[in-house]
């Protein structure tokens, strides 16, 4: 039931939101030099690397590491990027990854290719068997503020509680939190 739900919602979302996606792509291009999308190397199901699209929120010369690892993250984030991150609008292109099966609407957020500590703990917990999600249980329970072991604990709890009803509850809470910008450090 999860995969058909993902396909239906992501396809409908891409169609309905296409004017918004186009408008945001143009805004990103006008805000700073470079492409509208950033294709981030992420760790997917069974620890396979895939390329995940996001609207670009950082300068093109920014280091390819997690934002919290940058010495001066504000130096690299574009003016529009701050708004896109706070509202999570930068995540909308990931509907494409859901449609293609690299991601799910709900699951553990995909680690960056170089977040070895997170990947190792998820593998040990068996969470690597899940498709990564646009949003997830850990995402709505602290987001950037959570230490890695707590994220993995919440990811494992999600794996144990997985159901369509639980996914719908997570999606609902994600939507309400996205507009508040709560839990985002950069």
185 located within any domain = no
Element (H, E) at 123: helix 116-125
The C-alpha atoms of residue 8 and residue 127 are separated, in whole angstroms, by 24
Its domain, for residue 17, covers: 2-178
186 located within any domain = no
184 located within any domain = no
Tell me the C-alpha to C-alpha distance, in Å, between residue 28 and each of 25, 78, 134, 172: 5, 9, 20, 27
The C-alpha atoms of residue 94 and residue 52 are separated, in whole angstroms, by 7
The C-alpha atoms of residue 20 and residue 52 are separated, in whole angstroms, by 19
- Other beta carbons less than 10 A from residue 100's beta carbon: 11
Pair 121, 149: CB distance under 8 Å: yes
75 located within any domain = yes
Whether 179 shows a pLDDT value over 70: the answer reads no
Query: Given this model, what pLDDT does residue 182 score?
Result: 54
Q: Work out the percent of the chain whose per-residue pLDDT is above 70.
A: 95
Pair 56, 24: CB distance under 8 Å: no
13 located within any domain = yes
43 located within any domain = yes
Query: Given this model, what pLDDT does residue 61 score?
Result: 85
Query: Given this model, what pLDDT does residue 46 score?
Result: 97
pTM of the model: 0.87
List pLDDT tens digits, range 29-87.
Answer: 999 999 999 999 999 999 999 999 999 999 988 877 777 777 788 888 999 999 999 88
List pLDDT tens digits, range 125-163.
Answer: 999 999 999 999 999 998 778 899 999 999 999 999 999
Query: Given this model, what pLDDT does residue 180 score?
Result: 60
183 located within any domain = no
Structural domain count of the chain? 1
List pLDDT tens digits, range 114-134.
Answer: 899 999 999 999 999 999 999
pLDDT band at 177 (very low <50, low <70, confident <90, very high): confident
169 located within any domain = yes
């Amino acid at each position: 039931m999860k995969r058909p739900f993902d396909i239906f919602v992501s396809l409908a979302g891409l169609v309905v939101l296409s004017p918004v996606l186009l408008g945001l792509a143009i805004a990103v291009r006008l805000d700073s030099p470079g492409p509208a999308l950033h294709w981030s190397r992420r760790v997917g199901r069974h620890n396979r690397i895939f390329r995940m699209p996001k609207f670009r929120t950082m300068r093109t010369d920014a280091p390819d590491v997690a934002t919290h690892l940058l010495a001066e993250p504000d130096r690299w984030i574009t003016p529009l990027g701050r708004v896109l991150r706070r509202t999570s609008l930068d995540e909308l292109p990931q509907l494409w990854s859901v449609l293609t099966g690299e991601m799910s609407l709900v699951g553990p957020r995909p680690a960056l290719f170089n977040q070895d500590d997170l990947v190792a703990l998820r593998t040990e917990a068996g969470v690597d068997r899940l498709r990564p999600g646009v949003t997830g249980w850990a995402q709505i329970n602290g987001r950037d503020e959570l230490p890695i072991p707590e994220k993995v604990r919440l990811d494992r709890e999600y794996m144990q509680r997985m159901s369509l009803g639980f996914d719908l509850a997570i999606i609902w809470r994600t939507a309400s939190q996205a507009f508040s910008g709560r839990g985002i450090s950069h």
